[in-house]
Chain A
């Protein structure tokens, strides 16, 4: 059995989503008008820009940083991995996460991704739907359904993805509090570097024990999949598995919690759309895709130019860092009419909320499934819940990562 040998105690750790907000997400409520204004000048900007948090002057000895606001231009960069490399993530994530697929270029990226991809296909996810995701969400709802009111961020959206991941990994239940704590410490590494690095090391030791056990006794869980996976004679080595499992935490926990919250926010602020989904759950896919377009949980993707290039008439120097503003691209008025409005009934078009190109979100089908089960379960059990009229109206905020920090609602179950 994986032991509880580390320093972390196993008591439930209350963790406040607000702790993350200043450092991880930024506190800006609506960066989109400034982005739109800059995009109208040019979809690509070279040099420092100011989106309300002050311009980052950067290092004058380095190539001028580039910011991309336009949909077509973001797609062009994400589809050209030879010119625009992912290796920039070595510096951003590598020290904490280890060497992950996030920072790899082709052909290495594909060789590793192929090995992990099968576990994340829609069909493979069906095994986790009812027994696993629905159960997690139902247990969370049980804790507050008698009260008639709740903050859905603190009570549901913030907690369910980490529990889902813990169950997908097949971790023993008594380890959940510790695992959730390490996960939060790792994903909030920007708030506390030493704590994040320590959590990363602790997770590695913990996963080493679990892997040993799964090699001896394989089960129907992701870690068993990862130790068994083989494509053309290639396996994942232990470090590759550790890195992938660590990556799963920010990639699979924080994003899903934010996306689910933003979708609820969109619905709670538009009763017509809330009722439409309440009455017809087949609308879920378009309602969720519209959420990821309108308020993608991850708003920025980074790349580094491997050679000089031209983009929308702007010269990009070799070695320049590019910030691709996914949220801005998804609100490109050249592509989406009335881009600032959450409208699940708009003409469905591709968005870049899950990224694009070879690095497109590996977990997008898992995210869709988790959000669908969570929101359907909320609608089934809480009925037509509404924003709490006695609480301050919630808002979405953040720059690199965005979502509502609270969603105070009232309900009469079944009503």
Chain B
């Protein structure tokens, strides 16, 4: 699923005004996210987790603070099944 190419690397952004440090993203993708000392989520290594799981982490953020980007464009997270 994850794009193996190096040209279009996935970028993970966190809105720190919104983030309240629930740690949910660290639970879903511990290789990618960590919590800073002041309780905000930080991106340690966006490439360390496959895209599917990153989507779960972003969708699962209780306050919607995480967005995924590729080549400057935001990747829509909402799925309608």
Interface residues of A (CB under 8 A from B): 78-79, 110, 113-114, 117-118, 121-123, 231, 285, 334-335, 348-350, 355-358, 360, 364-365, 368
Q: Is the CB of B62 within 8 A of A117?
A: no
Q: Does B26 sit within 8 A of A, measured CB to CB?
A: yes
Cβ proximity bits B29-53 to A, threshold 8 Å, 1 near / 0 not: 0000001001100000000000000
Q: Is the CB of A350 within 8 A of B64?
A: no
Q: Is the CB of B62 within 8 A of A358?
A: yes
Task: Tell me the bound Cα distance from A110 to B17 in angstroms.
Answer: 11
Contact of B27 among A110, A118, A123, A365 (CB under 8 A): A365
Q: Is the CB of B39 within 8 A of A117?
A: yes
Q: Is the CB of A79 within 8 A of B23?
A: no
CB neighbours (8 Å) of B38 from chain A are 231
Q: Is the CB of A350 within 8 A of B60?
A: yes
Q: Is the CB of B39 within 8 A of A79?
A: no
Q: Is the CB of A348 within 8 A of B63?
A: no
Q: Is the CB of B20 within 8 A of A118?
A: no
Task: Tell me the bound Cα distance from A164 to B1 in angstroms.
Answer: 42
Q: Is the CB of B23 within 8 A of A365?
A: yes
Task: Tell me the bound Cα distance from A113 to B22 in angstroms.
Answer: 10
Q: Is the CB of A350 within 8 A of B39?
A: no
Query: Which of B22, B27, B39, B63 is most buried by chain A, counting CB atoms within 10 A of its CB?
Result: B22
Q: Is the CB of A348 within 8 A of B56?
A: yes
Q: Is the CB of A118 within 8 A of B81?
A: no
Task: Tell me the bound Cα distance from A123 to B59 in angstroms.
Answer: 23
CB neighbours (8 Å) of B64 from chain A are 79
Q: Is the CB of A357 within 8 A of B56?
A: no
Residue of B nearest to A357 (CB): B62
Q: Is the CB of B59 within 8 A of A79?
A: no
Residue of A nearest to B64 (CB): A79
Chain B residues bordering chain A, tally (CB within 8 A) = 17
Task: Tell me the bound Cα distance from A79 to B64 in angstroms.
Answer: 8
Please classify the interface of chain B as helix (H, G, I), strand (E, B), loop, or mixed, using the class held by over half of its residues. Answer: loop
Q: Is the CB of A121 within 8 A of B23?
A: yes
Q: Is the CB of B23 within 8 A of A122?
A: yes
Q: How far is the CB of A335 from chain B (nearest CB, A)?
A: 7
Q: Is the CB of A122 within 8 A of B26?
A: yes
CB neighbours (8 Å) of B39 from chain A are 114, 117-118, 121
CB neighbours (8 Å) of B21 from chain A are 114, 117, 121
Q: Is the CB of A334 within 8 A of B20?
A: no
> Given contacts A114-B39, A118-B39, A365-B27, is CB(A350)–CB(B20) below 8 Å?
no
Task: Tell me the bound Cα distance from A357 to B39 in angstroms.
Answer: 16
Q: Is the CB of B20 within 8 A of A113?
A: yes
Q: How far is the CB of B18 from chain A (nearest CB, A)?
A: 9
Task: Tell me the bound Cα distance from A368 to B22 in angstroms.
Answer: 14
Q: How far is the CB of B7 from chain A (nearest CB, A)?
A: 29
Q: How far is the CB of B37 from chain A (nearest CB, A)?
A: 8
Task: Tell me the bound Cα distance from A117 to B35 in angstroms.
Answer: 11
Q: Is the CB of A334 within 8 A of B60?
A: no
Q: How far is the CB of B16 from chain A (nearest CB, A)?
A: 13
Q: How far is the CB of B28 from chain A (nearest CB, A)?
A: 8
Extra contacts, 5 of them, besides A79-B64, A285-B27, A358-B20 (Cβ < 8 A), are A79-B63, A122-B23, A231-B38, A356-B62, A360-B24
Task: Tell me the bound Cα distance from A202 to B3 in angstroms.
Answer: 59
CB neighbours (8 Å) of B81 from chain A are 334-335
CB neighbours (8 Å) of A122 from chain B are 23, 26-27
Task: Tell me the bound Cα distance from A360 to B27 in angstroms.
Answer: 14
Task: Tell me the bound Cα distance from A348 to B27 in angstroms.
Answer: 12
Can you list the 10 inter-chain pairs with the closest CB atoms, starting with the nearest? Answer: A350-B60, A360-B62, A356-B62, A360-B22, A117-B39, A357-B62, A350-B59, A117-B21, A358-B20, A121-B35
Q: How far is the CB of A358 from chain B (nearest CB, A)?
A: 6
Residue of B nearest to A365 (CB): B23
CB neighbours (8 Å) of B63 from chain A are 79, 357-358, 360
Question: What are 13 A-B residue pairs whose CB atoms fall within 8 Å in the complex?
Answer: A121-B21, A121-B23, A122-B23, A123-B35, A348-B56, A350-B59, A350-B60, A358-B62, A364-B22, A364-B23, A364-B24, A364-B27, A365-B27
